[in-house]
Amino acid sequence: MENVGKIPFKYEWRNRWIIIKEFIQNPVQEISFLRDTFQVSELYTGIAKRDKDLNNPNIPQWLNFGYWQEETTYNGACAALARKLGKVAELSPGEQVLDVGFGFAEQDILWMRENNLGAITGINTTELQVKIAQERVARAGLEERINLQVGSATKIPFAENSFDKVTALECAFHFNTREDFFAEAFRVLRPGGKLALADCLPRVGRDINFWLRVNSKKMCIPFVNQYDRNTYVEKLKKQGFVNIQAIPIGEYVWPAVVHYFAQVGQGISKHDLVINLQKDNPGLEAWSRDRGWFMAFDDYILFSGEKPD
């Protein structure tokens, strides 16, 4: 089924009016925000510092939207999404993997334990996340096999042909630019290696306009990254990747995220919320016409491509 991105007229203009009111009420703040450069590391440092459970070693620190086809808890859904990406990447024992934008490295711990990889190297621009992730990896006893460091997705600090797999779990929309990351991933992959991404983007048919530009800025998404799944595949091809796949999974992500924000808004911890899409599924449009419009993405795809032998 084609994922047509236009939302009903009344919702489109309701959302635009909310943006306009924000500018009227706080013009200096809003103009400054759009004018100034706001780094991704600032965004995620702020999110981390607001998390009261950040330093609790007994609570997983997942940071993705989750895959909710069967799961009903946040941690379970996040782990399920990591497993989906690992399956797409075809992670195998002994492989050398580069995980870019690893957050708190929960997926790296899971992949190492479940796939018996040779080594995982992770790079991330947010220093606080790197520090906490290193501590969590050490507590898991995996510091000899998982090496995490500060580094840029668009200037990967490793030699060409270094890795069997490169992964990016729900982060590539932030990279400035995503195409630069494609080039770097291609460079560091060994011939026959594979790039696998779980990524968020505008649905096919969504207007790439001023309003999307404003919301992209607020989400620290470079506007140049705002294109649909079809263009995404073409950009991977242009970079040289072959055997490209694009697997849509939004139907098991966005409806659950509607419930997620509703429950968190009621003061429920993300670790305590319960979401059952089999019993209560608001549908994709409930996301697209509301928070998805403001967060500047409403499609969710697992992409993969191989570097030719």
Domains of the chain: 9-306 (3.40.50.150)
Q: What percent of the chain has pLDDT over 90?
A: 89
Separation of CA 190 from chain center: 24
pLDDT-based confidence at residue 9 (cuts at 50, 70, 90): confident
Rounded mean pLDDT of 109-126? 99
pLDDT-based confidence at residue 38 (cuts at 50, 70, 90): low
Q: How confident is the model over 204-239, as pLDDT tens digits? A: 999 999 999 999 998 999 999 999 999 999 999 999
Cα 172 to Cα 200: distance, rounded to the nearest angstrom = 8
Hey, which residues does 299 pair with through a beta bridge? 201
**Residue 184 clears pLDDT 70, i.e. is over it:** yes
Contact at 8 Å (CB) between 287 and 255? yes
Residue 47, helix vs strand vs coil: helix
Hey, which residues does 149 pair with through a beta bridge? 123
Q: Which of these ranges, 125-139, 168-182, 284-298, has the smallest mean pLDDT?
A: 284-298
**Residue 4 clears pLDDT 80, i.e. is over it:** no
74 to 53, 70, 174, 257: CA distances (angstroms) = 14, 12, 23, 10
Please list, in sequence order, all residues whose beta carbon lies within 8 angstroms of the beta carbon of residue 237, skipping any fewer than 6 positions away: 244, 305
Looking at residue 2, its pLDDT comes to: 47
Looking at residue 6, its pLDDT comes to: 76
Looking at residue 86, its pLDDT comes to: 99
Q: How confident is the model over 78-89, as pLDDT tens digits? A: 999 999 999 999
**Residue 109 clears pLDDT 70, i.e. is over it:** yes
Cα 88 to Cα 15: distance, rounded to the nearest angstrom = 36
pLDDT-based confidence at residue 1 (cuts at 50, 70, 90): very low
Q: How confident is the model over 263-277, as pLDDT tens digits? A: 999 999 999 999 999
Which pTM does this prediction carry?
0.94
Beta strand extents in the chain (DSSP E only): 96-100, 119-124, 146-150, 163-169, 189-201, 242-248, 299-306
pLDDT-based confidence at residue 36 (cuts at 50, 70, 90): confident
Contact at 8 Å (CB) between 84 and 300? no
Looking at residue 28, its pLDDT comes to: 86
DSSP 200: E
Q: What percent of the chain has pLDDT over 70?
A: 98
Average pLDDT, the chain: 95
57-69: buried (b, 16+ CB within 10 Å) or exposed (e) per residue? eeebbbbbbbbbe
Looking at residue 270, its pLDDT comes to: 95
> Which helix (H) or strand (E) segment is 110 a member of?
helix 106-115
Q: How many CA atoms lie within 13 A of 252 on its CB side?
A: 18
Contact at 8 Å (CB) between 236 and 166? no
Amino acid code (one letter) for 231: T
